[in-house]
Structure 1
């Protein structure tokens, strides 16, 4: 048996374009889930989420965080 351990880190200074490109289809899923909550999508919403969370959490969790931020006026 072998165990592989990876320590992944993300560039915090990545641009919005780079984040969207790296997320690929996940970005579209996040957008769709946010829109299902009757929130008008803005690409800048991606910037509301910490980079580690953006790539480490599910699209559903990310969308929930974005909707909560928008509804609380923090967006």
Structure 2
């Protein structure tokens, strides 16, 4: 990679919008798992909860492991049971 290419990559990284509105210093303290966390909303509430965080896709079950926001419980749901935020 040439110097010009390196600076172009650096400029692109700096231009990326921070999806969580944290300062760059705060963002660097997060683990890769925290950075990759995606939020979604269940189409049908689970025990009154609708907000979830996608944890991991399990291809053998064709389901997503999700964490229910507010309770910490993990459940498995099909992709058509939630909508990405």
**What is the TM-score when the length of structure 1 is the normalising length?**
0.27
The structure whose Rg is larger is: 2
Greater relative CO (CA pairs within 8 A, separation 6+): 1
Relative to total residues, which structure has the larger strand share, 1 or 2?
2
**What is the TM-score when the length of structure 2 is the normalising length?**
0.25
